[in-house]
Amino acid sequence: MNDRATDRVLIDQWREEPAPLLPLLHAFQERDGWLTEDVLRAVSADLNIPLAELFGTVTFYHHFSQEPPGRELPRVCDGPVCRFQGAPNLIEKLNAKPMPCAGRCDGPVPVLQSDEVLTGTSFDQLKTNPSPLPPPNPGAIEECVFAHIREPGRATLKGYRETGGYDCLKRVLAETPEHLVSVITESRLAGRGGAGFSTGKKWAMVAKAPGQPKTIVCNADEGEPGCFKDRVLLNYDPHAILEGMILAAYATGASRGFIYLRYEYPEAQAVLEHAVAEALDAGFLGQSICGKAGFDFDIFVRRGAGAYICGEEGSLLNSLEGKHPFPRNRPPFPVTNGFEDLPTAVNNVETFAAVPPIVNHGADWYQSLGSGDHAGTKVVSLSGDIQCPGNYEVPIGLPLKTLLYDWAGGPREGQSIQAVSMAGLSGGFLGGGDLDEVTLDEPSVRSRGSFLGAAGIIVFDERRNMVDVAKNAMAFFAEESCGKCFPCRIGTERLTERLNGSALFNDSDSWHEEVADIEKTMMATSACGLGVAAPNITRSLQKYFPEQIAAHLK
């Protein structure tokens, strides 16, 4: 076993780095296979984190292990799509641990072992498969973030520069940061992680907020089941994300950046670290970027450890800081009190990737990509019972029907679409006539009591028992609830029990009454989006599939 001295060597590699805890724990887990008591004691002492706190934080994450076999233990995705593609069988065969949706819903079931992702639908087919690219542009409609992503070599600096990558930097740096902010504001680019806050406004707030250094955080913790859009950008167009972050840094006056990457995308980590090294080498990162004195910006890749809630920006910031990853109370917001309590812009991968094309083509161009009054595009991750699953960049406002039937080939042979999920699982389900009427924009989706969010859409055909789907969805939220606020911590558990039949009822009225009360209180009083959104599952279930509930309650 390793002694204290060798532990110290590893700790010394990281202790002076920004946001050192997660990479240090990963380094130890990689070395030993799991996190031993001795290691936690050493990290606690040297990073000056109380041992109990460190222990609690470590137990929060799925992928930190404190016992053998640790990281060698295979983990199989049992997300809502993989469940139908043989995940249960794989889990049994491999004696594996289930993991929540790992973001490979557009292909076979992913199995994560050490830092390798294998995919397959049965035990004997498992192999490394490249993460699927978006299907060829199906609508012949102009794309923004996917315009060049299918070009070979795009992930390298050379490939990225072939179509003018990083060219706009020099021009932008010659103008004021305010000018850049105004371009982004005018484009009406809004948070593509799902919150939909104006990116330009956010950057303006960070630029204005007092306190240095400021920070840009790229939220690449794509944990929503049925969402895998960021994965493809991270794997195939990393420089677009970096360039977007560099532009954000210039706009806001930030000098350090983090990419908070979900644990389940190990291949993306390699791609990103390579891209950062290339950009640093080429002078697009580091000191005096593009020769502009005083414009210094560095990007650090930090890998999460498996916690859905870390996609919530407060949790993400706490996680980066090495704290217990509970969401933060708001106000104050990260724009003034973010990473290390200093001004911070947290944006989604897709948002950053959209910035360079906007700067290159102009705000008007980006606005015009939307349908009707809507501005811009949105990448939709489409999966489940559909002919052509994958990521589709759609004009905002595109009819759902067009995406499902014209772009993605409609349901599987001989089946019909019963329901789709929205915002991964957080938006609950749409069914019935709404499937034909809704368009892919927030006003339309919200008018049906759901939301578009990060735009994961899972298709369920008539074969699926929707109560069962809902039960698994709610169990996911219960599993991922951080445990801080009462309505979410207890509510997700109680709703799960009401869907899985473990709570017994004499009459269905009281079931409905209890479920409705929990839903209302969760939506109104939960401290973050998880608890507010989770009841969409049961509400939409009752709205579209009352007969399936009736059958469940018999």
Partner 1 sequence: MITESKPVVTATMTLDGREVTYTEGETIYEVARRANIEVPTLCYDPRLEPFGACRLCIVEVEGGRNPVASCTTPAVAGMVVHTQTEAVEKHRRTLLELVASENPEENINPLRGYASQELNQLLEKHDVQPGRFQGKHSGTSNKDDNPFILRDYNHCISCYRCVRVCAEQEGDHAITMMNRGFEKQITAEFDIRLKESACTFCGQCVQTCPTGALGDRKAMRAEAQKEDFKKTRSVCPYCGVGCQVDLLSKEDRLVGIQPAMDGPANEGALCIKGQFAFDFVQHEDRLSKPLVRGEDGKLHEVDWDTALDRAAEGFKKVRQQHGNHAIYGVASGRAPSEASYTMQKFIRAGFGTNQIDNCSRA
Q: Which residues bind partner 1 (CB under 8 A)?
A: 37, 40, 50-57, 59-60, 307, 309, 324, 329, 331, 478-487, 489-494, 497, 502-503, 514, 517-518, 520-521, 523-527, 532
Q: Which is nearer to partner 1, 378 or 484 (CB)?
A: 484
Q: Which is nearer to partner 1, 393 or 519 (CB)?
A: 519
Report, in Å, the least distance between residue 484 CB and partner 1. 5
Report, in Å, the least distance between residue 299 CB and partner 1. 29
Q: Which is nearer to partner 1, 503 or 551 (CB)?
A: 503
Report, in Å, the least distance between residue 60 CB and partner 1. 6
Q: Which is nearer to partner 1, 50 or 152 (CB)?
A: 50
Least Cα distance to 21 among 45, 36, 43, 4 occurs for: 43
CB atoms < 10 A from the CB of 447, how many? 11
CA distance 136 to 412: 19
Q: Which is nearer to partner 1, 197 or 405 (CB)?
A: 197
Least Cα distance to 408 among 397, 420, 396 occurs for: 420
Report, in Å, the least distance between residue 486 CB and partner 1. 5
Least Cα distance to 495 among 510, 509, 478, 481 occurs for: 478
Question: Which position has the token pair 């706190």?
Answer: 53
Q: What is the 3-state secondary structure (H, E, C) of 202-217?
A: HHHHHHHCCCCCEEEE
Evaluate whether 165 touches 240 at the Cβ level (below 8 Å): yes
Report, in Å, the least distance between residue 378 CB and partner 1. 23
CA distance 26 to 451: 35
Report, in Å, the least distance between residue 410 CB and partner 1. 37
Report, in Å, the least distance between residue 56 CB and partner 1. 3
CA distance 397 to 141: 13
Report, in Å, the least distance between residue 231 CB and partner 1. 24
- Report the b/e string of 149-187 with b at 16+ CB within 10 A: beeeebbbbebbeeeebbebbeebbeeebeebbebbbbb
Q: Which is nearer to partner 1, 259 or 452 (CB)?
A: 452
CA distance 170 to 467: 55
CA distance 219 to 311: 7
Q: Which is nearer to partner 1, 250 or 308 (CB)?
A: 308
Positive or negative, the CA dihedral 112, 117, 118, 119 is positive
* Residues in CB range of 332: below 8 A, 6 or more apart: none
Q: Which is nearer to partner 1, 315 or 391 (CB)?
A: 315
Report, in Å, the least distance between residue 496 CB and partner 1. 9
CA distance 501 to 122: 30
Which region, left, alpha or beta, applies to residue 387 given φ > 0 means left and ψ of -120 to 50 means alpha?
A: alpha
Distance from the first to the final alpha carbon of the chain? 57
Q: Which is nearer to partner 1, 135 or 225 (CB)?
A: 225
Q: Which is nearer to partner 1, 77 or 518 (CB)?
A: 518
Evaluate whether 169 touches 355 at the Cβ level (below 8 Å): no
Report, in Å, the least distance between residue 420 CB and partner 1. 26
